[in-house]
Structures are given as structure tokens and as C-alpha cells.
Amino acid sequence: MELIFERSVKGRKGLRLPKCDVPSAKDIPARYKRKGIADLPEVSELDVVRHFTRLSRMNFSIDTHFYPLGSCTMKYNPKFMEDIAKLPGFSQLHPLLPQLLLGGMLTQGALEVLYNLERLLAELTGMHEVTTEPMAGAHGELTGMMLVAAYHRDRGNQKRYIIIPDSSHGTNPASATIAGYQTISIPTDKNGVMDFNQYKNKLNSEVAAVMLTCPNTVGIFNSQIRQICSLAHQNDALVYYDGANLNAILGKVRPGDIGFDIVHLNLHKTFATPHGGGGPGSGPVGVRKDLARFLPVPKVVKRSDGTYALEENWPESIGRIASFYGNFDVLLKAYAYILLLGKDGLIEASEKAVLNANYIMAGLKKYYHLPYDRICMHECVFSAAKQLEKGVHALDIAKALIDKGFHPPTIYFPLIVKEALMIEPTETESKDTLDRFIEAMKEIAELSQTNPQAVKDTPLTTPVSRPDETKAGRELNLRWNP
Ligand SMILES: *Cc1c(COP(=O)(O)O)cnc(C)c1O
């Protein structure tokens, strides 16, 4: 692949510096000065535009392709939210700006956004208070587990375990472990939910919390969820809601009303802020009333005179869990998204997300094995078991989809489904797109029977066919060496 450095032609320039808007420094000590000139590529503006546009077209994105990556909720991100995030009053705000400068005139708007967003997320989840500080879902989980620990420490409880079903996202046991707990894994029953009897048997006075995703990662809502919560509470264990799948129930069911005590949300999933490529994300955490005193600082508060402030002085807080106040631009976009859709829009989004997933499930049932054959929520999980009889794996099906112009679904997750294909269409896709996807999956299923090798030879349309993903991970090399 050609690099921008290789396009360099001595003397070629595409540079126009803006007028300096700060006083230029005069006496910079010699030790801070660079010797010689920086070794930068010499290219024209057009060279740069073509280079990066070409690179961007080698990739898949939600703006170019259907992206049914299960569990990740890759919905369309309305451009309206970018307009809001671009407003100079937000985008040029420095996080170290003193709160009271010019009577707080510069920061009040941003603090109001944080405050209002926290109130909206509390309302949507049925929680008492929310922190917007965590930077991702996994960070929210860790924050939640630290809150669990703070709760039990406060009560003098000796607790050691977190119960987690085996369908959970890998970050759940990881977060519990980092917070100092051991995990107890509960198997999934034949209906696709946590085995209730095994849960009852494993629950004891040393269990600190139960960590659940509902609907879970096979897209099924657990109808025993209230009983699960009340049994936990009888043992003074808290119940944690992994909100990555909130898109299925938004405006329909609130985790707080079911009996959950702590909730994290993935704003970059449910609330449509862009994600992929590792960030930025946002994983706000909501808690029931008696846990609010443990939330991280600073807290955004509204004073009696109607102004907003960041408060550090909460002695029982678990402390700071991030620099500054979370990923503000992501929070701002999520706030804009919620206001854009409004109550009815959010409910409709959820309904369509569920309808779309069931439409795909019904369309593909004949061609792919469906381990849990029941109405699903926002995503459906197939297995490539039938195709495997011909030697075609879930990975091969994913690669074949790329040639047909679709981003692959999540594969090999959840771990409880062999050769899993986890499809989450989201609400923003039209029936035409869903039909084209179903047709493509059908063709791949048929080709797997008639000419399995042809499926295994895909993709043929990408710059690199099948990279060695293990080697790429272990020997990551991002440096250009002339
Ligand atoms: C995405 C996801 C997480 C982790 O969230 P991140 O924002 O990626 O850290 C946790 N649980 C489930 C079910 C998820 O889908």
C-alpha cells in the first residue's frame, strides 16, 4: 500500500498556515529547538486529498455500508449532531477553564448540558442519579463494580463473588476481576437465558452482585428477570444492568423499575454517536438513590440560584475515575440525539430495531441454524453449523459478505453459540437494505452447499484478502521506515 511519504516530491507544497493568533515567542532556549527540519512528506493539497480519500474507501463505515455488527448497535449517526458539536461555544471550550471566569459565563452552557443529559438518562433508565464520566461501556462496568464494592464496604459486608451468565460480554468478568472480585459463571438454559435453578443454587451471602445484560447477547429478554433481582436483594447482593442492549427496550421498560440497582449505558451504541476504531465512546452509569453518594467526582450540581457547578467534595465518593468530565463531545451528541428524537422517536426507534431483527431472523431461518428459535429483541444469533458440514466456517461467511458489499455481522460471539453469526440490523435500515442482506446471506448459504471452496476463497474485492490477524495483533507495526 502506498504511503503518503512515498508520494513526496522535493519542493512540492500544499501548505497554508492560518494567521498566528497568539504572540510569537522570541527567546526560546536552544535546548527546546529542533535541529534541522522535520522529515515531512512534500506533497500538494490534491495529493493529500486523493491519498486519504483512497484510504477511506478501502474501509467499511456506517456512512457507506450496512453494518449489522451484533451487540455494537451500528446505527446511522445523524449529521445534525455534528452541527451541534461544532458550535464554537462547545468545541472551543477548554476543560481547565476556571468555572467562575466571567461569572461562569463560558462554562454554564456546557455544565447545563451535562446536568440535563444526566437527568434524561436517569429518566430513561429509572435510576436516581447518573454520572457521565466513564469513557466507554467497559469503563462504566468497572465504575459500577467499584460502586458495588463501596456499598458493601459501607455496610461492613464480606463479599467475594460476582455472578455473571456465560452469555455475557467478555468485559463483564474482566471488570469484576479488576475491581477485586471473583466471578461465578452461570450456564444458559435451552431457552437462551440464564439457568434459573443454577442461579438459585449458586447465590449465597458472599455474592456481591449479579451482572446481567437484558435482553442478553442472544437477543432474548429474560422473563424471570424480576425474580432474579429480588432473589439477589434477599442476599444483599446488588444487580447490575449492562445497558449495551438498551436499544431494544428504550421507552418500553426501565431497568430501575425491574429492580436493577446500577446501570451503564453505551451512548456510542444506543444514542447514535459515532463509534468504531477504538473510540471515543461514553459509558454513563446510573444508580438507585442510596448509592448516589458513592458516585465519582466531580458531580454536576444545580444550585438553588439556578446556576450549575462541578462539586468535588463528596467524602464517600469512589473518587475520580477519569480525567475531566467524560468525553464531552460524545455526551453533547447523545444529548442532541435524545432531543432530536424526543420521547416518541426513541420509542419508535426501539420498536423498529426489534422489528428489523425479527425480519432478518424470519428471512434466514430456513438457511442457517437458529439455536434459540424464539421471537428475538434487537438482534438475532444464528450458527453456521449447517455450513460447517461442508467445511464453511462463520469466518468464511463473514468474508463472503464483504464481497457482496456488507460489513460482516459479529462472529464467534456470544461464546455459547458454536460458529455464531450475531446480526443486529438496528432501526435505521430500510426494508430494501434488509432484503438485499437476506438475499446475500441466502446466496452464501447456497454456495456453501454447491461450491464451499468458493466461499473459502473470499474476499476477492479487497486490497488484502485475508490478513494474518494474530500476527497483526502480536507484531503491530505502524511506523513508516524509508
Ligand atoms: C459493547 C458491549 C460492552 C462494552 O462496551 P464498550 O463501550 O465497547 O466498552 C459490554 N457489554 C455488551 C453486551 C456490549 O455489547
pLDDT in tens, 17-36: 889 888 888 888 988 888 88
Distance, C-alpha 386 to centroid of its chain: 31
Report the atom number in ligand 1 closest to the C-alpha of 73. Answer: 15
Q: To the nearest whole percent, how much of the chain has pLDDT over 70? A: 99
Q: To the nearest whole percent, how much of the chain has pLDDT over 90? A: 82
What's the CATH number of domain 348-472, 3.40.50.300, 3.30.910.10, 3.20.20.80, 3.90.1150.10? 3.90.1150.10
Q: State whether the beta carbon of 144 lies less than 6 angstroms from ligand 1.
A: no
Q: State whether the beta carbon of 378 lies less than 6 angstroms from ligand 1.
A: no
* pLDDT at residue number 5: 80
* pLDDT at residue number 1: 62
Tell me which of 14-28, 154-168, 291-305 is least confident. Answer: 14-28
Nearest one of 350, 361, 420, 362 to 388, comparing CA atoms: 420
Using the predicted structure, report yes or no on whether residue 102 has a pLDDT greater than 80: no
* pLDDT at residue number 139: 97
State in Å: Cα 402 to ligand 1 middle. Answer: 24
Q: State whether the beta carbon of 136 lies less than 6 angstroms from ligand 1.
A: yes
Q: Reply yes or no on domain 79-339 having CATH 3.40.640.10.
A: yes
Instruction: Find out whether the peptide bond into 459 is cis, omega within 30 degrees of 0.
Output: yes
**Ligand 1 pocket mutation, candidates 143, 266, 282, criterion most atoms within 8 A of CB:** 266
For the CA atoms of 455, 457, 458, 459, the dihedral, rounded to the nearest 10 degrees, stands at: 180
User: How is 259-298 classified by DSSP, letter by letter?
Assistant: T-SEEEE-HHHHT-----TT------EEE-GGGGGGS-SS
Provide the pairing of β-strand 238-243 with 410-411: unpaired
Q: State whether the beta carbon of 242 lies less than 6 angstroms from ligand 1.
A: yes
* pLDDT at residue number 80: 95
* pLDDT at residue number 476: 87
Confidence of residue 278 (pLDDT cuts 50, 70, 90): low
State in Å: Cα 264 to ligand 1 middle. Answer: 10
State in Å: Cα 391 to ligand 1 middle. Answer: 31
State in Å: Cα 364 to ligand 1 middle. Answer: 26
* pLDDT at residue number 482: 66
* pLDDT at residue number 6: 84
Domain residues of the chain, as ranges? 79-339, 348-472
Confidence of residue 335 (pLDDT cuts 50, 70, 90): very high
Q: Which tens digits make up the pLDDT trace of 358-411?
A: 999 999 999 999 999 999 999 999 999 999 999 999 999 999 999 999 999 999
Query: If you average pLDDT over residues 109-126, what whole number do you get?
Result: 97
Report the atom number in ligand 1 closest to the C-alpha of 281. Answer: 7
* pLDDT at residue number 203: 98
**Ligand 1 pocket mutation, candidates 164, 167, 169, criterion most atoms within 8 A of CB:** 169
pTM above 0.75, yes or no: yes
Confidence of residue 56 (pLDDT cuts 50, 70, 90): confident
User: How is 84-128 classified by DSSP, letter by letter?
Assistant: HHH-HHHHT--TTS-TTGGGGTTTHHHHHHHHHHHHHHHHHHT-S
State in Å: Cα 438 to ligand 1 middle. Answer: 26
**Mean per-residue pLDDT over the chain, rounded:** 94
Query: If you average pLDDT over residues 51-66, what whole number do you get?
Result: 90
Report the atom number in ligand 1 closest to the C-alpha of 242. Answer: 11
Q: State whether the beta carbon of 165 lies less than 6 angstroms from ligand 1.
A: no
- What is the helix (H) or strand (E) element at residue 241, kind and residue range? strand 238-243
Q: State whether the beta carbon of 327 lies less than 6 angstroms from ligand 1.
A: no
Confidence of residue 244 (pLDDT cuts 50, 70, 90): very high
- Within 133-244, residue ranges assigned H as helices are 137-155, 171-178, 196-202, 225-234
Q: State whether the beta carbon of 110 lies less than 6 angstroms from ligand 1.
A: no
* pLDDT at residue number 35: 83
Q: For residue 251, what are the CA distances in angstroms to 67, 72, 213, 259, 371?
A: 24, 20, 17, 16, 29
Query: If you average pLDDT over residues 166-176, what whole number do you get?
Result: 97
Using the predicted structure, report yes or no on whether residue 258 has a pLDDT greater than 90: yes
CA angle 278, 73, 261 (to 5 degrees): 90
Nearest one of 417, 405, 410, 400 to 465, comparing CA atoms: 400
